């Protein structure tokens, strides 16, 4: 059971480039979300999904797109990378609402935009 898998683990982008951070879970979880973690701060929510075909914005969505075509995958797209997007990105999933259960996290993607 792999849990939540994020790829790549590390990435360096030039300003203006685009890329997709991959997230896959094999636990048949309905809820998935993306967070970013910056030094000295907790995790901030970027986008989340409550099932295939359903996504919504979190606290810091600007510059990011998501889609959820399958239950397993929840990719995060950076449209035009900026230095302010240098961060560590975490994907998480939960079986149902966070009101009732815990979240499982991937190992993170460390992104540097130069």
In the complex, the residues that contact another protein under the rule CB under 8 A are 4, 31, 33, 35, 40-45, 48, 50, 56, 58-59, 90, 92, 97-108
Query: Nearer Cβ to another protein, position 26 or 80?
Result: 26
How far is it, in rounded angstroms, from Cα 25 to Cα 95? 11
| Minimum separation from the CB atom of position 28 to another protein (A) | 17
| Minimum separation from the CB atom of position 16 to another protein (A) | 28
How far is it, in rounded angstroms, from Cα 33 to Cα 55? 9
SS3 assignment, position 113: strand
Question: Which residues fall within 8 angstroms of residue 113, CB to CB, at 6 or more apart?
Answer: 12, 13, 14, 15, 81, 82, 83, 84, 85, 86
SS3 assignment, position 77: strand
Query: Nearer Cβ to another protein, position 17 or 50?
Result: 50
| Minimum separation from the CB atom of position 74 to another protein (A) | 12
Query: Nearer Cβ to another protein, position 28 or 40?
Result: 40
């Amino acid at each position: 059971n792999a849990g939540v898998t994020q790829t790549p683990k590390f990435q360096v982008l030039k300003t203006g480039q685009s890329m997709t951070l991959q997230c896959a879970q094999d636990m048949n979880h309905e809820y998935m979300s993306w967070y970013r973690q910056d030094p000295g701060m907790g995790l901030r929510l970027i986008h989340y999904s409550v099932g295939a075909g359903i996504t919504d914005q979190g606290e810091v969505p600007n510059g990011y797109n998501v889609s959820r075509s399958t239950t397993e995958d929840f990719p995060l797209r950076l449209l035009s990378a900026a230095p302010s997007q240098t961060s560590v990105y975490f994907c998480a999933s939960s079986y149902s609402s966070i009101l009732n259960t815990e979240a499982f996290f991937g190992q993170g993607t460390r992104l540097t935009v130069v």
